[in-house]
């Protein structure tokens, strides 16, 4: 009889509960917005800004290939760029919406295992992907919150200010840099023994992730309501907080969670129409890449299946040999004709 470990259900159940709680709060907050205010937020975005935001998001998904490139460099595995770009786009376009465990990890495991990576290399690669992202969050979040701290609503006050949080993130960054500089022994993680990246690789990791977050935050800033006057550092800080909390909750795509946090942090500065801007960003950054990624995945599977079928047909044709005639070997020359009359 098939048994399920209850411990494996804790994460999905908590994510589902947080998703429902976030959606409920978001619906309550959305009820405070009039229809005219919401429509104003949708229609006040300049078409040129909307087009630039879409271009930046497309550029951002291209930049995400660097995450996989750095991870492959760590595991000392070289692959053609077209393959890396394919698995990176599929992993992020589907994983950003469906979650890492449901989409991103299985996609990467399937493709990279097919292309020659071992189980241990794939696990190490995924660990480096996560490390790259969080190093960028610590660097960029530390700088932004230290120089331009964001004011939290009174209902969501922390025991310390966001500037203090920025200093904590910068401290984590310095500790990570020190580990990469002075610690060269492998760390046992399960059956794996992973070494910290070199200082050069760690620096590139943080830089790539920081640029990735800056580009996506800029796209969000461009779809803010046209009459809103809000500093870019405020939008950037709110976006970083929203992304981090969304990932911690493990809600796929941060659906409802990201919208709730951005609404809570920006409504006093931008105004109530900010909810429409957040939904526009959701469509541009999450929904459209998801649809395109599904099309690319299906097309690739059909193409790969046709190629494999063609190769199998060739192998089968080459493996068939002509049936020898009875009483003789077809590879031997015919005997001379003898007339017995």
pLDDT in tens, 152-165: 766 556 667 788 88
pLDDT of residue 201: 92
Query: Degrees (nearest 5) of the Cα angle 166, 172, 176?
Result: 145
pLDDT at 276: 85
Backbone angles phi, psi at 117, to 5 degrees: -80, 145
Position 84 scores a pLDDT of 95
pTM: 0.80
Mean pLDDT of 275-296: 90
Range with lowest mean pLDDT among 26-35, 176-185, 250-259: 26-35
Average pLDDT, the chain: 80
| Residue 234 contacts residue 150 (beta carbons within 8 Å) | yes
Average pLDDT, integer, range 208-226:
93
**If you ran DSSP here, which 8-state letter would residue 101 be given?**
I
pLDDT tops 70 at residue 30:
no
Q: Give CB contacts under 8 A, 24+ apart, made by 284-290.
A: 284/53, 284/54, 284/57, 284/219, 284/223, 285/57, 285/96, 285/216, 285/219, 286/96, 286/97, 286/253, 287/97, 289/57, 289/61, 289/89, 289/92, 289/93, 289/96, 290/93, 290/94, 290/96, 290/97, 290/98
Confidence of residue 42 (pLDDT cuts 50, 70, 90): low
Lowest mean pLDDT among 4-13, 91-100, 296-305: 4-13
Mean pLDDT of 258-278: 83
The mean pLDDT value for 239-247 works out to 85
Q: Report the range out of 17-31, 143-157, 272-286 with the highest average pLDDT.
A: 272-286
Residue 54 has pLDDT above 90, yes or no: yes
Task: Please report which confidence band the pLDDT of residue 251 belongs to, taking 50, 70 and 90 as the band edges.
Answer: confident
């Amino acid at each position: 009889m098939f048994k399920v470990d209850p411990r494996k259900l804790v994460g999905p159940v908590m994510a589902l509960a947080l998703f429902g709680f976030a959606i409920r709060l978001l619906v309550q907050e959305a009820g405070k917005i009039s229809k005219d205010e919401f429509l104003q937020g949708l229609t006040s975005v300049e078409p040129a800004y909307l087009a630039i935001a879409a271009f930046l998001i497309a550029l951002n998904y291209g930049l995400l290939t660097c995450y996989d490139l750095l991870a492959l460099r760590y595991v000392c595995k070289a692959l053609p760029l077209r393959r890396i770009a394919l698995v990176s786009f599929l992993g992020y376009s589907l994983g950003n919406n469906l979650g890492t465990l449901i989409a991103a990890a299985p996609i990467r495991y399937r493709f990279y295992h097919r292309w020659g990576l071992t189980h241990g290399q794939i696990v190490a690669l995924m660990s480096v992907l996560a490390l790259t992202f969080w190093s960028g969050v610590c660097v960029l979040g530390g700088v932004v919150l230290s120089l331009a701290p964001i004011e939290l609503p009174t209902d969501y006050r922390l025991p310390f200010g966001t500037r203090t949080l920025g200093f904590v993130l910068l401290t984590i960054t310095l500790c990570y840099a020190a580990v990469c500089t002075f610690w060269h022994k492998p760390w046992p993680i399960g059956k794996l023994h992973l070494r910290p990246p070199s200082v050069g690789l760690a620096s590139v990791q943080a830089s790539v992730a920081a640029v990735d977050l800056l580009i996506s935050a800029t796209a969000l800033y461009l779809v803010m309501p046209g009459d809103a006057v809000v500093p870019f550092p405020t939008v950037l800080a709110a976006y970083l907080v929203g992304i981090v909390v969304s990932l911690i909750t493990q809600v796929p795509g941060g659906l409802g969670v990201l919208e709730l946090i951005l609404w809570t942090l920006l409504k006093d500065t931008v105004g109530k129409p900010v909810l429409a801007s957040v939904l526009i960003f959701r469509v541009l950054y999450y929904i459209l890449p998801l649809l395109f990624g599904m099309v690319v995945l299906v097309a690739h599977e059909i193409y790969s299946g046709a190629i494999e079928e063609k190769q199998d047909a060739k192998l089968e044709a080459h493996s068939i040999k002509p049936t020898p005639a009875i009483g003789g070997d077809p590879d031997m020359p015919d005997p001379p004709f003898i007339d017995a009359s």
